[in-house]
Amino acid sequence: MTTDLEPRELVAGVDSSTQSCKVVIVDPFTGEVLRTGSAPHPAGTEVDPEAWWSALRQAICDAGGFADVAAVSISGQQHGLIALDRDGEVIRDALLWNDLRSDGAARALIAEVGADEFVDRAGVVPVASFTGAKLRWLRDHEPDNASRVAAVALPHDWLTWRLLGYGTSSTEAPRGPDLEALVTDASDASGTAYFSAVAGGYDFELFRTAFGATAREAAGSQTREDTRPTAVSPRDEAVVLPRVLRPHDSAGHTPEGILVGPGAGDNAAAALGLGAVPGDVVISIGTSGTVFSPTSLEINDPSGMVAGFASADGGRLPLVATLNAARVLDSAAALLRASHSDVAALALASEPGANGLTLVPYFEGERTPNLPDATARLEGMTLANSSPENVARAFVEGMLCGLADGLDAVLRQGVTAERLLLIGGAARNPAVREVARDIFTVPIDVPEQAEYVAIGAARQAAWTLTGSSPRWQVELVATLHPRPSQVRRQYRSFAHTSLTDETSATPNAGPTHDTNPAHENSDNDHRGSSGARAPVEG
């Protein structure tokens, strides 16, 4: 595609997610997406990072190349562990966020340090996803590999390093394996459990607790970008952690002369791509669900439900993740032997509360609330309400109520919600949009379907290039106004039974329930704490 711009005046953004690599080429002045490219990633919870590098190069080619690109930034899936030896070689396949073998390691870290102490120092309570827990697992289960670790990087850190021309001799990287050139940003570093979003730096003692070794921050490239180093040797035996760049700092230039931004974690990049500001809460419904909001508030949640991550613009990004999101709709389609569009039509043929039928959607346990061993179940079923329409409605309502639990957790941290931004693949589902009006009590904007993570990375690239953060318009396809409903009250009467069962040995414990359809005002109206038209705070 041709443009009126001169060569090397466009910007590019990369979304290196779990499933694929996506590239967008964007006009830095208008935010118009001019070209796109993508390439798949291999499945699994541990992956050779070289597959990501290959996918990035393929996606760039698919997008028409970078001949007219002046700046680029990379966003990546958070938390993954890439361990490098002193020659820059990847020691073992990267452990991804969804690799849960480190669950016991996370619990051990909490026992050693304490949840309150972790939150005070790192803003998070360790879970299996976080890099710190994966480092502990590596130390305990693969000591030979652990003994070789000279540097630890996150997925977007490593890809940025490779794009800048660094790597091992076996990869023909023109600038060699300079570990001091590793860089990251606060948004991604804050998901490690050894970085403080409040202090803006690493907590090296927490790293030592996790891995049993000293660490230090990378000093910056020891060589000129246009020359290859003759030798590589760390200054000491401390493990090198990527240098943390400010939101629009330059990471350097590619061998071709393209400016490289600091990059970001995927959710932080999505917030940038959406232009989210304090008062906006993003609800993303993908394979898993996330609820997050930019703020300046310091987040402190010892329960671990809300992670006190940093944002990509220098603020905070409190975030809740739920395990059961769009896959709940997949389950409904399988159960009803119907397509997703048919499930939506069935759900819309029912009414709020599904005539008393309620799905507790914990198909794979749950993180919010923290119920790792819980299972899903249909409650309140009678001969009168056992219809495909009510089952479909109950599945949609249960999924959205689970996300509303996440929203409640974020709001309890003092975050203000003036509007919700509904994104992700399931946001296109007409039943999801309609039922959301019965679940949430804050106005909901639905942006047009777009690659907001990659667009956010491109916006960061433009910021790095020009020195000012551009304001790009986000088109909306719908604005949904909430309507009074008791769907949340009906759902909570059964969901709380899960919490009771998880924390006690008494089966079938929990409150009695009312199977009447939910039509009345909810007792959990978010307007009471967030203010649908309240002043923006944070």
Q: What is the pLDDT of residues 334-351, one digit of tens each?
A: 999 999 999 999 999 999
Catalytic residue among 266, 301, 313, 501: 266
Is-contact 240 216, C-beta < 8 A? Answer: yes
State how beta strands 316-322 and 82-84 pair: unpaired
Highest mean pLDDT among 100-104, 187-191, 196-200: 187-191
- Residue with tokens 């070789």, as numbered in its chain: 148
Average pLDDT over residues 396-408: 96
- Give the chain's radius of gyration (CA, Å): 23
pLDDT, residue 288, reads: 84
pLDDT of residue 80: 95
Q: Is 7 or 193 the better-scoring residue by pLDDT?
A: 193
pLDDT at 195: 97
Residue 266 appears among annotated catalytic residues: yes
Q: Left if phi > 0, otherwise alpha if psi is -120 to 50, otherwise beta: which for 517?
A: beta
Domains of the chain: 10-220+237-262 (3.30.420.40), 275-500 (3.30.420.40)
Q: Give the count of beta carbons closer than 10 Å to the beta carbon of residue 4.
A: 6
Annotated binding site for substrate: 78-79
> In whole angstroms, how far apart are CA 388 and each of 336, 352, 431?
7, 15, 14
Please give the Cα distance from 128 to 99 (Å, whole number): 7
CA 374 and chain centroid, separation: 23
pLDDT tens column, 433-485 = 999 999 999 999 999 999 999 999 999 999 999 999 999 999 999 999 999 89
Q: Which residues contact 306 (CB under 8 A, 6 or more apart)?
A: 299, 318, 319, 320, 409, 410, 412, 413
Q: Using CA atoms in the order 50, 54, 56, 58, what is the torsion angle rounded to 10 degrees?
A: -170
Residues 504, 505, 510, CA angle at the centre, nearest 5°? 60
What is the spatial distance between Cα 532 and Cα 401, in angstroms, rounded to a whole number? 19
Enter the pTM of the model: 0.87
pLDDT single digits (tens) 92-140: 999 999 888 999 999 999 999 999 999 999 999 999 999 999 999 999 9
Largest CA distance in the chain: 78
Q: What distance in Å separates the CA atoms of residue 195 and residue 200, rounded to the nearest whole number?
A: 7
Cα-based torsion angle of the residue sequence 28, 32, 37, 43 in order, rounded to the nearest 10 degrees: 90
| CB 15 within 8 Å of CB 457 | yes
CA 505, CA 400: separation in Å to the nearest integer?
28
